[in-house]
Chain A
Protein backbone atom coordinates (compact mmCIF):
# COMPACT_ATOMS: atom_id res chain seq x y z
CA UNK A 1 0.00 0.00 0.00
CA UNK A 2 1.40 3.43 -0.89
CA UNK A 3 2.62 5.49 2.06
CA UNK A 4 3.63 9.02 2.83
CA UNK A 5 7.26 9.14 3.87
CA UNK A 6 9.12 11.81 5.81
CA UNK A 7 12.79 12.52 6.38
CA UNK A 8 14.56 12.85 8.67
CA UNK A 9 12.76 11.06 11.49
CA UNK A 10 14.53 13.26 14.04
CA UNK A 11 16.24 16.60 13.50
CA UNK A 12 18.17 18.49 16.14
CA UNK A 13 19.08 22.08 15.36
CA UNK A 14 20.25 25.18 17.15
CA UNK A 15 18.05 28.19 17.64
CA UNK A 16 18.27 30.57 14.68
CA UNK A 17 19.23 27.88 12.19
CA UNK A 18 17.22 27.02 9.11
CA UNK A 19 15.71 23.56 8.77
CA UNK A 20 14.04 21.80 5.89
CA UNK A 21 11.69 18.94 6.58
CA UNK A 22 11.00 16.64 3.69
CA UNK A 23 7.97 14.64 2.69
CA UNK A 24 7.16 12.38 -0.22
CA UNK A 25 3.38 12.27 -0.60
CA UNK A 26 1.50 9.46 -2.30
CA UNK A 27 2.15 9.83 -5.99
CA UNK A 28 -1.34 10.48 -7.41
CA UNK A 29 -2.44 12.76 -4.57
CA UNK A 30 -3.24 16.40 -5.26
CA UNK A 31 -3.53 18.03 -1.83
CA UNK A 32 -0.68 18.29 0.65
CA UNK A 33 -0.59 19.37 4.26
CA UNK A 34 1.71 20.07 7.15
CA UNK A 35 0.63 19.71 10.75
CA UNK A 36 2.60 19.92 13.95
CA UNK A 37 2.16 18.55 17.46
CA UNK A 38 3.98 20.16 20.33
CA UNK A 39 4.56 17.62 23.08
CA UNK A 40 1.41 17.17 25.14
CA UNK A 41 -0.70 19.37 22.90
CA UNK A 42 -3.07 18.99 19.98
CA UNK A 43 -2.11 18.21 16.42
CA UNK A 44 -2.36 21.63 14.75
CA UNK A 45 -2.87 22.47 11.10
CA UNK A 46 -0.14 24.59 9.56
CA UNK A 47 -0.71 24.80 5.82
CA UNK A 48 -2.38 23.18 2.83
CA UNK A 49 -0.97 23.16 -0.68
CA UNK A 50 -2.77 22.52 -3.95
CA UNK A 51 -1.96 23.18 -7.57
CA UNK A 52 1.51 24.42 -6.66
CA UNK A 53 0.40 27.07 -4.26
CA UNK A 54 -0.69 27.52 -0.68
CA UNK A 55 -4.45 27.08 -0.49
CA UNK A 56 -4.89 27.71 3.21
CA UNK A 57 -2.69 28.47 6.19
CA UNK A 58 -3.16 28.87 9.90
CA UNK A 59 -2.02 31.76 12.04
CA UNK A 60 0.89 29.61 13.16
CA UNK A 61 2.27 29.62 9.61
CA UNK A 62 3.99 32.99 9.72
CA UNK A 63 6.77 34.44 7.57
CA UNK A 64 9.40 32.13 8.98
CA UNK A 65 7.66 29.16 7.41
CA UNK A 66 7.53 28.27 3.74
CA UNK A 67 6.52 25.25 1.69
CA UNK A 68 7.62 24.03 -1.67
CA UNK A 69 7.05 21.19 -4.08
CA UNK A 70 10.33 21.51 -5.92
CA UNK A 71 10.30 18.50 -8.20
CA UNK A 72 6.80 17.06 -8.41
CA UNK A 73 7.44 14.40 -5.79
CA UNK A 74 8.90 16.04 -2.69
CA UNK A 75 6.96 18.43 -0.48
CA UNK A 76 9.10 20.44 1.90
CA UNK A 77 8.55 22.63 4.93
CA UNK A 78 11.24 25.19 5.63
CA UNK A 79 11.61 27.01 8.90
CA UNK A 80 13.91 29.93 8.24
CA UNK A 81 15.10 30.80 11.72
CA UNK A 82 14.10 28.23 14.29
CA UNK A 83 12.95 29.13 17.78
CA UNK A 84 12.79 26.95 20.86
CA UNK A 85 8.99 26.88 20.57
CA UNK A 86 9.25 25.29 17.11
CA UNK A 87 10.26 22.03 18.81
CA UNK A 88 7.49 19.62 17.87
CA UNK A 89 6.55 16.62 15.79
CA UNK A 90 5.81 17.71 12.23
CA UNK A 91 3.44 15.58 10.18
CA UNK A 92 2.99 15.68 6.44
CA UNK A 93 -0.24 14.43 4.89
CA UNK A 94 -1.62 14.04 1.41
CA UNK A 95 -5.05 13.54 -0.09
CA UNK A 96 -6.17 12.57 -3.56
CA UNK A 97 -8.98 15.08 -3.80
CA UNK A 98 -12.62 14.41 -4.49
CA UNK A 99 -15.09 14.24 -1.66
CA UNK A 100 -13.48 11.57 0.49
CA UNK A 101 -11.36 14.05 2.46
CA UNK A 102 -9.26 11.10 3.59
CA UNK A 103 -5.77 12.25 4.43
CA UNK A 104 -2.83 9.90 4.59
CA UNK A 105 -0.21 10.87 7.13
CA UNK A 106 3.50 10.35 7.23
CA UNK A 107 5.29 9.05 10.34
CA UNK A 108 6.43 12.53 11.34
CA UNK A 109 9.70 14.34 11.91
CA UNK A 110 10.61 15.18 15.47
CA UNK A 111 12.26 18.59 15.48
CA UNK A 112 14.25 19.55 18.54
CA UNK A 113 15.52 23.13 18.74
CA UNK A 114 18.22 23.73 21.34
Chain B
Protein backbone atom coordinates (compact mmCIF):
# COMPACT_ATOMS: atom_id res chain seq x y z
CA UNK B 1 0.00 0.00 0.00
CA UNK B 2 1.11 3.52 -0.68
CA UNK B 3 2.28 5.70 2.15
CA UNK B 4 3.59 9.20 2.65
CA UNK B 5 6.20 10.30 5.15
CA UNK B 6 6.78 13.78 6.44
CA UNK B 7 9.81 13.77 8.65
CA UNK B 8 9.54 17.22 10.18
CA UNK B 9 6.89 17.41 12.86
CA UNK B 10 7.33 21.07 13.78
CA UNK B 11 9.45 23.66 12.03
CA UNK B 12 10.09 27.09 13.52
CA UNK B 13 11.49 29.83 11.30
CA UNK B 14 11.94 33.55 11.41
CA UNK B 15 10.35 35.73 8.78
CA UNK B 16 12.32 35.90 5.51
CA UNK B 17 13.98 32.54 6.16
CA UNK B 18 13.82 29.93 3.44
CA UNK B 19 11.60 26.91 3.88
CA UNK B 20 11.91 23.32 2.79
CA UNK B 21 9.52 20.68 4.09
CA UNK B 22 10.29 17.07 3.30
CA UNK B 23 7.87 14.57 1.82
CA UNK B 24 8.63 11.03 0.69
CA UNK B 25 6.22 8.56 -0.84
CA UNK B 26 6.49 4.83 -1.08
CA UNK B 27 5.09 3.88 -4.48
CA UNK B 28 7.51 3.47 -7.38
CA UNK B 29 5.11 3.78 -10.29
CA UNK B 30 3.12 6.73 -11.60
CA UNK B 31 2.18 9.02 -8.75
CA UNK B 32 0.01 12.07 -8.36
CA UNK B 33 1.22 14.25 -5.51
CA UNK B 34 -0.28 17.13 -3.58
CA UNK B 35 0.55 19.63 -0.89
CA UNK B 36 -2.32 20.92 1.22
CA UNK B 37 -2.18 23.66 3.83
CA UNK B 38 -4.38 24.22 6.86
CA UNK B 39 -4.21 27.72 8.36
CA UNK B 40 -5.28 28.02 12.00
CA UNK B 41 -9.02 27.59 12.27
CA UNK B 42 -9.48 27.03 8.56
CA UNK B 43 -10.07 24.10 6.27
CA UNK B 44 -7.50 22.18 4.25
CA UNK B 45 -6.77 23.88 0.95
CA UNK B 46 -4.68 22.86 -2.02
CA UNK B 47 -1.29 24.56 -2.41
CA UNK B 48 -0.07 22.70 -5.47
CA UNK B 49 -0.11 19.36 -7.23
CA UNK B 50 2.04 17.29 -9.53
CA UNK B 51 0.70 14.83 -12.08
CA UNK B 52 3.27 14.83 -14.88
CA UNK B 53 5.52 17.10 -16.90
CA UNK B 54 7.83 19.68 -15.37
CA UNK B 55 8.95 18.25 -12.02
CA UNK B 56 9.16 21.75 -10.54
CA UNK B 57 5.62 22.75 -9.71
CA UNK B 58 4.59 26.24 -8.70
CA UNK B 59 1.61 26.78 -6.44
CA UNK B 60 -0.20 29.56 -4.71
CA UNK B 61 1.36 32.09 -2.32
CA UNK B 62 4.89 31.64 -3.66
CA UNK B 63 5.21 27.96 -2.82
CA UNK B 64 6.82 25.43 -5.10
CA UNK B 65 7.64 21.74 -4.93
CA UNK B 66 10.06 19.53 -6.79
CA UNK B 67 9.26 15.96 -7.76
CA UNK B 68 12.41 13.83 -7.68
CA UNK B 69 11.49 10.35 -8.81
CA UNK B 70 14.84 8.80 -7.95
CA UNK B 71 14.47 9.95 -4.35
CA UNK B 72 10.73 9.30 -4.07
CA UNK B 73 10.46 12.87 -2.83
CA UNK B 74 8.20 15.85 -3.31
CA UNK B 75 9.60 18.55 -1.05
CA UNK B 76 7.83 21.85 -0.55
CA UNK B 77 9.84 25.07 -0.73
CA UNK B 78 9.43 28.78 -0.31
CA UNK B 79 12.36 31.20 -0.62
CA UNK B 80 11.15 33.65 2.02
CA UNK B 81 8.45 32.83 4.55
CA UNK B 82 6.06 35.29 6.13
CA UNK B 83 4.30 35.22 9.48
CA UNK B 84 1.08 34.47 7.58
CA UNK B 85 2.56 31.16 6.40
CA UNK B 86 2.13 29.81 9.92
CA UNK B 87 0.02 26.71 9.32
CA UNK B 88 0.10 22.95 9.09
CA UNK B 89 1.28 21.49 5.79
CA UNK B 90 0.23 18.09 4.51
CA UNK B 91 1.75 16.09 1.70
CA UNK B 92 -0.57 13.60 0.00
CA UNK B 93 -0.58 11.07 -2.79
CA UNK B 94 -3.55 9.98 -4.87
CA UNK B 95 -4.56 6.60 -3.49
CA UNK B 96 -6.88 5.29 -6.17
CA UNK B 97 -8.99 5.99 -9.22
CA UNK B 98 -11.81 7.39 -7.09
CA UNK B 99 -9.63 10.25 -5.97
CA UNK B 100 -9.04 9.30 -2.36
CA UNK B 101 -5.93 10.85 -0.86
CA UNK B 102 -3.29 9.27 1.35
CA UNK B 103 -1.84 11.90 3.66
CA UNK B 104 1.35 12.28 5.57
CA UNK B 105 1.26 13.21 9.24
CA UNK B 106 1.66 16.88 8.53
CA UNK B 107 4.30 19.44 9.44
CA UNK B 108 3.44 22.35 11.63
CA UNK B 109 5.22 25.53 10.55
CA UNK B 110 5.54 28.41 12.99
CA UNK B 111 6.96 31.66 11.60
CA UNK B 112 8.19 34.16 14.14
CA UNK B 113 7.65 37.83 13.20
A residues near B, CB below 8 A? 3-4, 31, 33, 35, 41-45, 48, 50, 55-56, 58, 91, 93, 95, 99, 101-108
Contacts and interface: CB of A to CB of B under 8 A. Distances in A.
B106 A42 contact: yes
Given A41-B105, A101-B32, A48 B45 contact: no
B102 interface: yes
A4 B43 contact: yes
B43 A105 contact: yes
Chain B contact patch, size range: 20 to 34
Contact of B99 (A48, A58, A106, A107): A48
B103 A50 contact: no
Contacts, number: 58
B42 interface: yes
A21 to B, nearest CB: 15
Contact of B44 (A50, A91, A101): A91
A113 to B, nearest CB: 22
Contacts of B32: 101
A56 B96 contact: yes
A37 B80 CA distance: 30
Contacts of A31: 98-99
Contact of B100 (A3, A42, A48, A104): A48
A38 to B, nearest CB: 11
A101 B90 CA distance: 16
16 contacts: A3-B43, A31-B98, A43-B44, A43-B92, A43-B106, A48-B99, A56-B96, A56-B98, A58-B100, A95-B99, A99-B51, A101-B94, A102-B46, A105-B43, A105-B44, A106-B43
Contacts of A106: 43
